[in-house]
């Protein structure tokens, strides 16, 4: 008997390990930084505990019923013709209805308070960063600083950041789990997202939407620093003598690549981000058949 139990436990080990590995993103969500991430954590926990009103009693009743009405328990009442109970019906329908009501109220409130397009802080306070999804990397343009990077993001702590997000290829999703909301990047469209970090550190950003064979390596480091450290980093990038122009170096960077190292650019062509968007709106960024290639097709 003991040997069978040990074998069963050993069989569960791979499942437990797999669950822990796959929960990496969830672990990041449970250690948030900034107002958006913290409010989303509160929403997740509130929804979880509300749903336990049903889950916990159901688990307990399942175990109690299985024990009470086991085959060798002669004291349990045997009622083969039992069919209905008004009290049970009331509980079965009322409790879920109340839970759905509470979840509906919370969802309505947070759908407005967590609107990714809703500015954080005072008007004009947010830093502007433009993010372009490429195969399979991220380009970040700092229009105020006149610099651009590939697969590296810097901004100061306790300052809202306004991200404008688009795609050079297929639909993708920009996501820094510990900071909060993700937003979709689509060719020919300008999407936006407000985020803020209240703790200095390095946060992992990633692509949250499958976009081809290099999707799993499409990640970047987000460095949240003091204002002084950020200014020093900007000066460092400005020392790079590599211009970023739409008809020049941008086309080379936009070519599909996997595990692309960090790259810096300065100066940056004015209006480059807008030009990427309008190239698709005018049809110049699309193949002759009018259909966008998938990430895998683009690599070929």
The bridge status of strand 152-156 relative to strand 219-225 is: parallel
Please give the angle made by the CA atoms of 194, 195 and 201, to the nearest 5 degrees.
160
Range 216-233 average pLDDT: 95
Q: Among 86-100, 204-218, 282-296, which is the least confidently predicted range?
A: 282-296
Q: CA–CA separation, 110 vs 131, rounded Å?
A: 26
Residue 226 has a CB neighbour count (10 Å cut-off) of: 12
* C-alpha closest to that of 149 among 212, 236, 270: 236
298 pLDDT more than 70:
no
Q: Please give the helix or strand (H or E) that residue 56 lies within, else none.
A: helix 35-68
Helix (H, G, I), strand (E, B) or coil at 128: strand
Q: How high is the mean pLDDT of the chain? A: 84
What pLDDT score was predicted for residue 69? 85
Confidence band (pLDDT; 50, 70, 90) for 296? very low
Give the pLDDT score at 293. 46
- According to DSSP, the β-strands at 191-195 and 161-167 are antiparallel
User: Terminal CA-to-CA distance of the chain, rounded, Å?
Assistant: 57
For residues 214 and 257, is the Cβ–Cβ distance under 8 A?
yes
Dmax (CA) for the chain in angstroms is 87
In this predicted structure, what is the pLDDT of residue 262? 95
Paired tokens of 238: 């400005």
What's the pLDDT score for residue 287? Answer: 42
| Structure confidence at residue 161 (pLDDT) | 95
| 115 three-class SS | coil
DSSP 9: H
Please tell me what DSSP assigns to residue 292.
Answer: P
What confidence score (pLDDT) does residue 30 get? 77
Characterize 82-97 residue by residue with b for buried, 16 or more Cβ atoms within 10 angstroms of its Cβ, and e for exposed: eeeeeeeeeeeeeeee
> Cα-Cα-Cα-Cα dihedral of 46, 48, 51, 54, to 10°?
-130
Is residue 236 predicted with pLDDT exceeding 60?
yes
Q: Is the pLDDT of residue 295 over 70?
A: no
pLDDT band at 114 (very low <50, low <70, confident <90, very high): confident
Q: What is the pLDDT of residues 49-85, one digit of tens each?
A: 888 888 898 899 899 988 988 888 888 888 888 888 8
């Amino acid at each position: 008997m003991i040997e069978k139990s040990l074998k069963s436990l050993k069989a569960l080990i791979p499942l437990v390990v797999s669950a822990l590995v796959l929960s990496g993103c969830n672990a990041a969500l449970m250690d948030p930084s900034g107002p958006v991430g913290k409010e989303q954590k509160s929403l997740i926990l509130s929804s979880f505990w509300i749903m336990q009103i049903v889950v916990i009693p159901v688990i307990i009743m399942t175990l109690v019923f299985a024990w009470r009405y086991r085959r060798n328990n002669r004291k349990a009442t045997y009622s083969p013709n039992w069919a209905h109970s008004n009290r049970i019906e009331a509980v079965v329908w009322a409790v879920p209805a109340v839970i759905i009501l509470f979840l509906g109220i919370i969802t309505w409130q947070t759908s407005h308070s967590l609107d990714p397009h809703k500015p954080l802080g005072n008007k004009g306070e947010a830093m502007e960063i433009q993010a372009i999804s490429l195969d399979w990397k991220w380009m970040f343009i700092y229009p105020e600083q006149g610099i651009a990077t590939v697969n590296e993001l810097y901004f100061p702590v306790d300052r809202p950041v306004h991200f404008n997000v688009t795609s050079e290829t297929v639909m993708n999703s920009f996501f820094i789990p510990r900071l909060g909301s993700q937003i979709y990047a689509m060719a020919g469209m300008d999407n936006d997202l407000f985020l803020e970090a209240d703790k200095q550190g390095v946060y992992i950003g990633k692509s949250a939407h499958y976009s081809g064979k290099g999707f799993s390596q499409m990640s970047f480091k987000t460095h949240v620093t003091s204002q002084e450290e950020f200014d020093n980093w900007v000066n460092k990038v400005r020392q790079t003598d590599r211009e970023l122009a739409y008809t020049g170096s941008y086309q080379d960077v936009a070519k599909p690549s996997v595990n692309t190292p960090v790259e810096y650019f300065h100066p940056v062509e004015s209006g480059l981000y807008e030009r990427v968007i309008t190239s698709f709106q005018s049809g110049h960024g699309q193949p002759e058949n009018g259909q966008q290639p998938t990430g895998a097709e683009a690599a070929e």
